[in-house]
């Protein structure tokens, strides 16, 4: 009967900790000197107590044992030395009862030459199905491209068989003939074997020597497409017939070559990360993190359901196949002084001897193993620091009996020592008298107890198995620092690879405000601020720090301690004046603000918060307040804060569902309630809409708040009454929006600045005065006028536009399809010479370049969209440049002073960007350092480019413009575009955002956005297939050039003959080029501060502009 697997989570292997052991070496129950299944069952409590979750059994099948059991002579039985099939089943049941999964070996590349299939093949006639179970040849010259793996013992991959009168193929020892997967019967037999074990309930299968399954002449006979086809068949059979099982690939290859064994999540679930292991040892010895960060940079992302298997040591040699010759020489010198320690291309030693039995080094390496992305695999005995015996042959020195006690034979067996399958380790340092389980169990400070605690700790944090990894590039390369994170958890890991204490400063701005909590002892560290975070780590020390959100704790504590007494739901005097006001200003508002996503002052230290002004509607349970935040070292800011009170079940629901919106606890007589952000109160949302739509007026303490409906409001309100209660949109960052069904969006501008908000101002102007139709319909606004001051905008109402996504997402999807289609094709250089990097068309040339047939064939309909976007952009500019009596919108000519000021601004911005790049050079990812150097060498050229703008009357028009124009600011709507968000860059002062500027600034913004879209999509694609970068680069250039050209063409044609942009081609080109460069340098500064991994895009953009 088919037994189910033991794990309930189908992704169990992602959280697993695997313990690799050999039945023969673990425990002997019948005193014959050889470990057996009954012995293993007796020791399952030990394995469970260690905390590992999965047992990986090395081959236990009948075998001549000439390769430690990897030479199998019968796949569907148990080697009698280890027990019977019934013993195995009992073991499986006992393991499952302890919630331990079990993985066994599926050696399918080869069999033993004693297997009945091979004996039958030797005697079968040439060409018969029986003979064809293996790979035969009349000559040993076939497959010359295949390397020899066991160089110490084998001289050829072919061996002559006198019986068959032919050569047979073997990638490993000559007694291990390779199976022939060109014979369909072979795969059928393999599937039959697989089902035999999976039916018993085995949870995982390790597929040995996976790259070598299929051979083809003219290749190196590794990783061939036919091999992947075999693996897909095996996986398909598992998925169809079993649940919760796992395939682990053994492919000693580079990560990019292993990546295909995961397929699209439809080959193996796991694969070993072989090259990481030697590099961990290299980094330790060199006291330099580079070997590790270097190999991790070459490690591609995996499909969601896949996982790396990582390890420090295993039953084989520490393989050095995946290192360079120099690195191999270094490793031999560093870790195998005695030549006996070397075998094949590797080092045959256990973990503890490799690091000279230094406890801190062992702990450090295990801390890396447990915190790196992947499932850690422990080799039996390494948890107690077992040694090896380099005087035993092959790799047997690391396969000696487990050392249980200081008794005879290390407690492994009661047999006479001479009968043991292998001598136990007996020397004074590593011998079983000194290193054994029993003594370490009774020693609270033993390595075994340390390992047990670390394993238990790791199991508490799923992020170790499933989260992302980001390296922090600290200046001190002896420190390896990285963050593991997912949606729920963030863990900072810091390791000192040096034998001396090391200082380090970590750039943790992305985690500002969080509190690192040391995970082993639950010790709180100082809060992360805006400056680099200093740490000192002892010799070979490591820290695991859980980054916890601090403000919510403080707020929670405060909320617990403070209860504001009110006399009813509308008693705002008690909250916003008197004692309530004092509590609000001293404690509650600060705590609340720091928890809000829209609060922009998180990076500054708050010196004080005051309620600047407030208003309420008579008898209402909500009020509008403006709070001023004073910082210790930054100008003050004012924020809009609508507040409401709720009691009873409504209050409980708010605490439960929107805990972050709670400002304070309230008490009204016996009733308990909360003071909270009013936007989570549907009544308050409706009241705001009412004020806006009716032109309602509220008197505040210091002025007036009034609704200003727009002419189109009536049509927009149609049907809103019946829509569901307003809800808070989750999309906003710096503001908050309320959605009224799918009809309206009311955007509240949280940070208040004096003067009209440009978004409202332009929205109203384009709707009421110029009739530009391609914007979201403007419904009106709520403004506040403080006595004697210019009005400021509190909120703006717009109609929601049905769309196919914003321009960025829509373009990203188009590009994903484009690259998928392009990858298999050779780039048509002849048809598209303009895509060569050395060909750099000028901007005017670009706008006049006719659309080529080849570009149309590949880029397709997107060209029409880009052209349409050019036209709509021009129309927006024309609408904003139309003659008007409104001073805020009347276009003006750029004066000589304006030109000089612009030139100086460009120079200042550019200089700042180059300084930032220079300062960040040592922290940049290795792959972009050269590019950054090239850009730095163009500093003079860039400044000259700006200085070339002539300081005389340029005949350039300055108008109101969009100001922050890119693909994310437009919506794709039924083959057309709608332009959104005229707020400008929110970080800049309002006055600057309302300044009139040449429209070409917007044109440059959109052109850079095309470039970003093209290369961001390449990044996405190559994250899955790193090898495709070279192939995709010309395709990306083609797309960018074609889209930009179409956009510019559309724009110029629409403004042709109109006085919007400079008529003189040279001035047009000069201004546009300057804006492009300015924008690219702005992007560079932004990426350096926020997303160093993206810095390649602006760097390439700058180089393209400064050839």
The smaller minimum CB distance to another protein, of residues 328 and 655, is found at 655
314 and 376 in contact (C-beta within 8 Å)? no
Of 537, 469, 447, 446, give the one whose Cα is nearest residue 498: 537
The smaller minimum CB distance to another protein, of residues 653 and 839, is found at 653
553 in contact with another protein (CB under 8 A):
yes
- The minimum distance between CB 652 and another protein, in angstroms, equals 3
- The minimum distance between CB 594 and another protein, in angstroms, equals 16
Local structure of 273: helix, strand or coil: coil
Show Cβ contacts of residue 253 under 8 Å, excluding neighbours closer than 6 positions.
Answer: 211, 222, 223, 274, 322
For another protein, what does the binding mask look like between residues 658 and 677, x meaning CB under 8 A?
Answer: -x------------------
333 in contact with another protein (CB under 8 A):
no
Q: Helix, strand, coil % (nearest 5) of the chain?
A: 40, 20, 40
The smaller minimum CB distance to another protein, of residues 467 and 709, is found at 467
Of 352, 355, 299, give the one whose Cα is nearest residue 322: 299
Please state, in angstroms and rounded to a whole number, the distance separating the CA atoms of residues 890 and 110: 82
649 in contact with another protein (CB under 8 A):
yes
The DSSP line for 573-605 is HHHHSHHHHHHIIIIIHHHHHHT-TT-TTTTS-
Please state, in angstroms and rounded to a whole number, the distance separating the CA atoms of residues 589 and 608: 9
Which one of residues 127, 338, 560, 722 is an interface residue with another protein (CB under 8 A)? 560
The smaller minimum CB distance to another protein, of residues 659 and 1103, is found at 659
Asked if 1059 is an active-site residue, the reply is: no
461 in contact with another protein (CB under 8 A):
yes
**How many residues sit close enough to another protein to count as binding (CB under 8 A)?**
31
Of 362, 246, 373, give the one whose Cα is nearest residue 312: 362
CA 730 vs CA 333, 658, 683, 734, 739: distances in Å: 58, 12, 19, 11, 10
Show Cβ contacts of residue 674 under 8 Å, excluding neighbours closer than 6 positions.
Answer: 645, 646, 651, 654, 655, 662, 663, 664, 665, 666
The smaller minimum CB distance to another protein, of residues 659 and 1104, is found at 659
Of 353, 357, 317, give the one whose Cα is nearest residue 335: 353
Which one of residues 89, 602, 655, 856 is an interface residue with another protein (CB under 8 A)? 655
For another protein, what does the binding mask look like between residues 7 and 26, x meaning CB under 8 A?
Answer: -x------------------
Asked if 382 is an active-site residue, the reply is: no
* Pair of tokens at residue 386: 């077992």
Which one of residues 99, 256, 955, 1089 is an interface residue with another protein (CB under 8 A)? 99
The smaller minimum CB distance to another protein, of residues 99 and 922, is found at 99
441 in contact with another protein (CB under 8 A):
no
Which one of residues 44, 426, 563, 652 is an interface residue with another protein (CB under 8 A)? 652
**Token pair 């399958």: residue:** 421
Please state, in angstroms and rounded to a whole number, the distance separating the CA atoms of residues 656 and 72: 60
The smaller minimum CB distance to another protein, of residues 324 and 445, is found at 445
- The minimum distance between CB 45 and another protein, in angstroms, equals 11
44 in contact with another protein (CB under 8 A):
no
Which one of residues 64, 303, 539, 556 is an interface residue with another protein (CB under 8 A)? 556
- The minimum distance between CB 9 and another protein, in angstroms, equals 13
Show Cβ contacts of residue 664 under 8 Å, excluding neighbours closer than 6 positions.
Answer: 559, 562, 563, 564, 575, 583, 584, 588, 674, 675
Of 30, 54, 26, 53, give the one whose Cα is nearest residue 40: 26
**Token pair 């005065």: residue:** 769
- The minimum distance between CB 1049 and another protein, in angstroms, equals 54
Which one of residues 31, 165, 453, 941 is an interface residue with another protein (CB under 8 A)? 453
104 pairs with which residues across the strands?
205
Give the 3-state DSSP-derived string for 944-1011, with helices as H, strands as E and coil as C.
HHHHCCCCCCCCCEEECCCCCCCHHHEEEECCEEEECCCCCCCCCCHHHHCCCECCHHHHHHHHHHHH
893 pairs with which residues across the strands?
957
Burial of residue 775 (number of CB atoms within 10 Å: 0-12, 13-18, 19+): buried
Stretch that binds another protein, among 162-170, 192-200, 454-462, 836-844 (CB under 8 A): 454-462
276 and 292 in contact (C-beta within 8 Å)? yes
- The minimum distance between CB 680 and another protein, in angstroms, equals 15
Stretch that binds another protein, among 55-63, 257-265, 386-394, 451-459 (CB under 8 A): 451-459
Burial of residue 657 (number of CB atoms within 10 Å: 0-12, 13-18, 19+): exposed
Which one of residues 487, 656, 721, 838 is an interface residue with another protein (CB under 8 A)? 656
Stretch that binds another protein, among 324-332, 458-466, 745-753, 912-920 (CB under 8 A): 458-466
The smaller minimum CB distance to another protein, of residues 460 and 823, is found at 460
The smaller minimum CB distance to another protein, of residues 391 and 522, is found at 522
Which one of residues 444, 850, 883, 1057 is an interface residue with another protein (CB under 8 A)? 444
Stretch that binds another protein, among 70-78, 456-464, 528-536, 1073-1081 (CB under 8 A): 456-464
Which one of residues 557, 853, 886, 1059 is an interface residue with another protein (CB under 8 A)? 557
**Token pair 């990203």: residue:** 812
106 in contact with another protein (CB under 8 A):
no
The smaller minimum CB distance to another protein, of residues 553 and 1058, is found at 553
475 in contact with another protein (CB under 8 A):
no
Q: Which of 15, 208, 317, 761 is catalytic?
A: 208
- The minimum distance between CB 472 and another protein, in angstroms, equals 24
- The minimum distance between CB 375 and another protein, in angstroms, equals 17
Apex 1054 CA angle, 1053 and 1058, nearest 5: 100
Q: Which of 250, 613, 677, 814 is catalytic?
A: 250
Please state, in angstroms and rounded to a whole number, the distance separating the CA atoms of residues 681 and 688: 11
- The minimum distance between CB 391 and another protein, in angstroms, equals 38
- The minimum distance between CB 490 and another protein, in angstroms, equals 12
Which one of residues 193, 229, 290, 457 is an interface residue with another protein (CB under 8 A)? 457
Cα 1051 to chain centroid, rounded:
38
276 and 318 in contact (C-beta within 8 Å)? no
The smaller minimum CB distance to another protein, of residues 497 and 651, is found at 651
Please state, in angstroms and rounded to a whole number, the distance separating the CA atoms of residues 402 and 425: 9
**Residues between 484 and 523 with contacts to another protein, criterion CB under 8 A:** 488-489, 519-523
The smaller minimum CB distance to another protein, of residues 99 and 694, is found at 99
- The minimum distance between CB 557 and another protein, in angstroms, equals 8
- The minimum distance between CB 560 and another protein, in angstroms, equals 8
Which one of residues 76, 85, 416, 456 is an interface residue with another protein (CB under 8 A)? 456
Please state, in angstroms and rounded to a whole number, the distance separating the CA atoms of residues 390 and 387: 10
Other CB atoms within a 10 A radius of the CB of residue 978 amount to: 21
- The minimum distance between CB 138 and another protein, in angstroms, equals 56
The DSSP line for 743-809 is TEEEEE--EE-SS--HHHHHHHHHHHTS---SBPPEEEEEEEEETTS--EEEEEEEE----S-BHHH
Apex 1066 CA angle, 1065 and 1072, nearest 5: 90
The smaller minimum CB distance to another protein, of residues 239 and 853, is found at 239
**Token pair 């204490």: residue:** 501
Residues that bind another protein (CB under 8 A): 4, 8, 97, 99, 444-445, 453, 456-457, 459-462, 488-489, 519-523, 548, 553, 556-557, 560, 649, 652-653, 655-656, 659
Catalytically annotated residues: 208, 250
């Amino acid at each position: 009967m088919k037994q189910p697997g033991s794990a309930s989570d189908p992704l169990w292997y992602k959280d697993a900790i695997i313990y690799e052991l050999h039945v023969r070496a673990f425990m002997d129950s019948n005193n014959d000197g050889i470990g057996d299944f009954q012995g293993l069952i007796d020791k399952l409590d030990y394995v469970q107590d260690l905390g590992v979750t999965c047992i990986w059994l090395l081959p236990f099948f009948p075998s001549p044992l000439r390769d430690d059991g990897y030479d199998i002579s019968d796949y569907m039985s148990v080697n009698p030395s280890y027990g019977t099939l019934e013993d195995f089943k009992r073991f499986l049941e006992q393991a499952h009862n302890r919630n331990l999964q079990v993985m066994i070996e599926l050696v399918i590349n080869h069999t033993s030459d004693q297997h009945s299939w091979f004996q039958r093949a030797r005697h079968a006639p040439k060409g018969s199905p029986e003979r064809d179970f293996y790979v035969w040849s009349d000559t040993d010259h076939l497959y010359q491209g295949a390397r020899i793996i066991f160089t110490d013992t084998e001289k050829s991959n072919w061996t002559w068989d006198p019986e068959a009168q032919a050569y047979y193929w073997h990638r490993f020892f000559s007694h291990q003939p390779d199976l022939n997967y060109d014979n369909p019967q072979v795969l059928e037999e393999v599937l039959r074997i697989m089902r035999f074990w999976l039916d018993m309930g085995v949870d995982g299968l390790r597929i040995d020597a996976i790259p070598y399954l299929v051979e083809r002449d003219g290749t190196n006979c590794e990783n061939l497409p036919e091999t992947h086809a075999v693996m897909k068949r095996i996986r398909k059979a598992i998925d169809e017939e079993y649940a919760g099982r796992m395939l682990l690939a053994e492919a000693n290859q580079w990560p990019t070559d292993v990546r295909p064994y995961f397929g699209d999540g439809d080959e193996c679930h796991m694969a070993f990360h072989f090259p990481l292991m030697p590099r961990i040892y290299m980094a330790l010895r060199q006291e330099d993190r580079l070997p590790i960060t270097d190999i991790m940079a070459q490690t591609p992302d995996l499909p969601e359901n896949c996982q790396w298997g990582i390890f420090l040591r295993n039953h084989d040699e520490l393989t050095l196949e995946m290192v360079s010759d120099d690195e191999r020489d270094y490793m031999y010198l560093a870790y195998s002084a005695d030549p006996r320690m070397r075998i094949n291309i590797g080092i045959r030693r256990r973990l503890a001897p490799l690091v000279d039995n230094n406890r801190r080094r062992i702990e450090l390496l295990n801390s890396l193993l447990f915190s790196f992305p992947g499932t850690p695999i422990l080799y039996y005995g390494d948890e107690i620091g077992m040694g090896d015996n380099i005087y035993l042959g092959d790799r047997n020195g690391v396969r000696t009996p487990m050392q249980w006690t200081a008794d005879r034979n290390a407690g492994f067996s009661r047999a006479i020592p001479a009968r043991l399958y292998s001598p136990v380790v007996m020397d004074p340092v590593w011998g079983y008298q000194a290193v054994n389980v029993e003594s370490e169990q009774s020693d609270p400070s033993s390595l075994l107890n340390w390992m047990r605690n670390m394993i238990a700790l790791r199991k508490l944090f799923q992020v170790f198995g499933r989260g992302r990894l980001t390296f922090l590039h600290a200046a001190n390369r002896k420190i390896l620092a990285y963050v593991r994170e997912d949606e729920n958890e963030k863990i900072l890991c810091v390791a000192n690879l040096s034998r001396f204490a090391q200082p380090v400063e970590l750039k943790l701005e992305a985690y500002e405000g969080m509190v690192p909590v040391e995970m082993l002892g639950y010790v709180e560290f100082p809060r992360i601020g805006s400056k680099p975070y200093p740490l000192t780590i002892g010799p070979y020390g490591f820290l695991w720090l859980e980054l916890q959100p601090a403000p919510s704790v403080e707020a929670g504590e405060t909320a617990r301690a403070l209860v504001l007494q009110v006399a009813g739901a509308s008693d705002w005097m008690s909250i916003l004046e008197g004692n309530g006001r004092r509590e609000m200003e001293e404690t509650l508002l600060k705590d609340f603000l720091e928890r809000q996503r829209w609060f922009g002052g998180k990076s500054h230290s708050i010196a004080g918060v005051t309620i600047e002004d407030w208003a309420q509607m008579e008898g209402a349970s909500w009020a509008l307040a403006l709070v001023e935040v004073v910082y210790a070292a930054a100008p003050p800011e004012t924020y809009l804060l609508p507040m409401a009170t709720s009691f009873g079940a409504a209050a409980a629901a708010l605490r439960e569902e929107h805990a972050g919106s709670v400002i304070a606890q309230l008490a009204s007589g016996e009733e308990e309630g909360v003071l909270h952000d009013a936007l989570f109160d549907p009544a308050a949302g409706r009241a705001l809409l009412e004020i806006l739509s009716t032109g309602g007026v509220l008197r505040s303490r210091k002025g007036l708040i009034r609704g200003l409906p727009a002419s189109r409001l009536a049509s927009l309100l149609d049907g809103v009454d019946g829509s569901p209660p307003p809800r808070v949109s989750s999309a906003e960052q710096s503001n908050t929006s309320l959605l009224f069904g799918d009809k309206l969006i009311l955007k509240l501008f949280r940070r208040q600045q004096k003067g009209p908000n440009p978004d409202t101002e332009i929205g109203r102007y384009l709707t009421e005065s110029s009739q530009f139709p391609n914007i979201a319909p403007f419904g009106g606004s709520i403004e506040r006028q403080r006595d004697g001051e210019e009005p400021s905008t509190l909120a703006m109402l717009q109609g929601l536009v049905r769309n196919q996504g914003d321009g960025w997402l829509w373009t990203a999807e188009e590009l994903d399809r484009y690259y998928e289609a392009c990858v298999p094709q050779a780039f048509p250089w002849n048809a598209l010479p303009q895509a060569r990097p050395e060909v750099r068309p000028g901007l005017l040339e670009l706008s006049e370049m006719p659309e080529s047939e080849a570009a149309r064939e590949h880029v397709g309909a997107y060209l029409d969209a880009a052209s349409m976007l050019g036209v709509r952009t021009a129309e927006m500019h024309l609408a904003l440049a139309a003659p008007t009596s409104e001073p805020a919108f009347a276009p003006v000519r750029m004066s000589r002073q304006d030109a000089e000021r612009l030139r100086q601004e460009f120079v200042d911005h550019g200089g700042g960007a180059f300084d930032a790049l220079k300062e960040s050079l040592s922290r940049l990812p290795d792959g972009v350092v050269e590019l950054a150097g090239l850009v730095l060498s163009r500093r003079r050229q860039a400044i000259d480019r700006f200085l070339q703008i002539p300081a005389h009357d340029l005949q350039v028009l300055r108008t109101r413009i969009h100001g922050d124009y890119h693909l994310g600011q437009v919506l794709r709507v039924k083959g057309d575009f709608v332009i959104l968000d005229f707020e400008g860059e929110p970080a800049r002062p309002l006055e600057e955002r309302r300044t009139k500027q040449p429209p070409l600034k917007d044109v440059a913004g959109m052109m850079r956005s095309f470039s970003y879209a093209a290369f961001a999509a390449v990044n996405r694609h190559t994250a899955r297939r790193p090898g495709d970068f070279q192939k995709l680069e010309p395709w990306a250039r083609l797309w960018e050039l074609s889209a930009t050209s179409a956009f510019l063409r559309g724009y110029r044609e629409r403004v042709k003959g109109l006085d919007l942009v400079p008529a003189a081609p040279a001035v047009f080109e000069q201004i546009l080029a300057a804006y492009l460069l300015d924008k690219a340098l702005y992007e560079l500064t932004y990426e350096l501060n926020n997303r160093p991994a993206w810095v390649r895009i602006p760097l390439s953009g700058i180089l393209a502009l400064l050839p």
